[in-house]
Amino acid sequence: MKPKRSRRQRLQQRTEESRLCAKPMDNESWRRVLGRLNRRLQVFPRDAILQPVRVIEAGIGILNAPMEAYCRATCGDCLDPCCTGRKVFYNRADLLYLVALRKAWPLGQTRVRPEDPCRFLGPRGCLLPRYLRPYVCVWFLCEAHMELFQAEPPTVQRRWIQTLLDIRNARLRLENLFESRFPGDTCDEA
């Protein structure tokens, strides 16, 4: 018979981020959701939250310059820009990170209604700095970017992949930590 796992151990089995909060939201709901997550995060030791947040922020910093260079090389001629997709949202891991970062929050969810375009899409691309974007917008490598990535030296590719892994693990750690105290959180506004 397998030994019984504790509730804490079971909660730490999350290997994928939840889709909680990844939905259209009006600005008032957005503020309430972030406010509630912020209050809940106060129960954790600051260091426990800051550790994964610093890994995420530093990792995005590493990815920023090459991703910007890829965009400069390809996005201007793109016939099917990824930012016109309607399914890009901040998920709960994004929101936990944003709240814990203690910087100004973005104005709202990417869209208020499902049919809206992303509110952060400006005439020259995304209006947000990379560290404030939904993470899917940070790591996404379209076909054109993948070609550029594959032409990079192996050391660059390895560093990039390790950075993505570090960020992914840190985001999972953040969500697991949150769920260890708030299992069943539904991303409600209350």
Task: Specify burial of residue 172 (Cβ count, 10 A radius: 0-12, 13-18, 19+).
Answer: middle
Query: Which among 17-25, 57-65, 138-146, 154-162 is the span making contact with ligand SF4, rule CB under 6 A?
Result: 138-146
Q: What is the nearest approach in angstroms of ligand SF4 to the Cβ of residue 32?
A: 21
Interface with ligand SF4 includes 172 (CB under 6 A)? no
Q: What is the nearest approach in angstroms of ligand SF4 to the Cβ of residue 80?
A: 6
Interface with ligand SF4 includes 137 (CB under 6 A)? yes
**128-131 long-range Cβ contacts below 8 angstroms, 24+ apart:** 130/60, 130/63, 130/64, 130/67, 130/68, 131/57, 131/60, 131/61, 131/64, 131/101
CB atoms within 10 A of CB 126: 16
Q: What is the nearest approach in angstroms of ligand SF4 to the Cβ of residue 108?
A: 11
Interface with ligand SF4 includes 121 (CB under 6 A)? yes
- Encoded tokens for 103: 């910087």
CB closer to ligand SF4, 3 vs 76: 76
Interface with ligand SF4 includes 88 (CB under 6 A)? yes
CB closer to ligand SF4, 145 vs 173: 145
DSSP 39: H
CB closer to ligand SF4, 58 vs 83: 83
Please list every residue from 38 through 77 that binds ligand SF4, using CB under 6 A.
71, 74-75
Please list every residue from 93 through 112 that binds ligand SF4, using CB under 6 A.
110
CB atoms within 10 A of CB 174: 25
Q: What is the nearest approach in angstroms of ligand SF4 to the Cβ of residue 157?
A: 18
Backbone angles phi, psi at 97, to 5 degrees: -60, -45
Q: Residue 122: beta bridge partners?
A: 125
What's the half-sphere exposure (Cβ side, CA atoms, 13 Å) at 61? 6
Binding site for ligand SF4 (CB under 6 A): 71, 74-75, 78, 81-83, 88, 110, 118, 120-121, 126, 128, 133-134, 137, 142, 144-145
